[in-house]
Structure 1
Amino acid sequence: MGSEEAETVATVLAAWLGGPVIRDFRSSMGPYYVLIAPGSDWGGPGERLTTGTYLGVPRPGHATTLSRWVVLSPYPGALGDTRRLCALLASSESLRVVHG
């Protein structure tokens, strides 16, 4: 995203993906999880969680030390666009080089 500022990252992710994103703080990497439709095509560089995998989803408006919403769903049932997610991940390496 070119920034470490949580608000900037949230703004960019919301604009790019149009769907909900959760960040998990249980590991030092603090991975982001973009919620996409279970049957959607995925050929992107990131790992996709599969059947039998559990992801803790925080209650909206209640931040925890384990995870929090970075981008709330704009409306019930809205999910991220996998094509846009692939484009964002493909550009992420160049963002790291340029910004840091």
Structure 2
Amino acid sequence: MAEFLPEPRPDEMDLLMVLSALADPHRLRIALALAKAPDAVLPCTAFELPVTKATRTHHFRILREAGVIRQYDHGNGRSNQLRLADLRQRFPGILTTLLAG
């Protein structure tokens, strides 16, 4: 059974944390890939990042703690989903702006 990892509630999401999380090119690439399939739940291994496993884990943690993604822990792996509805509710227009850029 999948277990959700801790994440901020929408009212706890901070714009500076979200923007800081997305300022890194690897994390932005993850968010953009998830935005292309907003209903998809993708494993961490679905993203080709030229970094070590520990660095990859760090990038996903930063995105989750900022509220950009939701992570599901299932045994020996994790899956990720963009928190599209929460981001749109908390910061209207931010995703449209980021995806257009």
Same-fold call, TM cutoff 0.5: no
TM-score (norm 2): 0.32
TM-score by structure 1 length? Answer: 0.32
* Structure index of larger Rg: 1
Q: Whose helix proportion is higher, 1 or 2?
A: 2
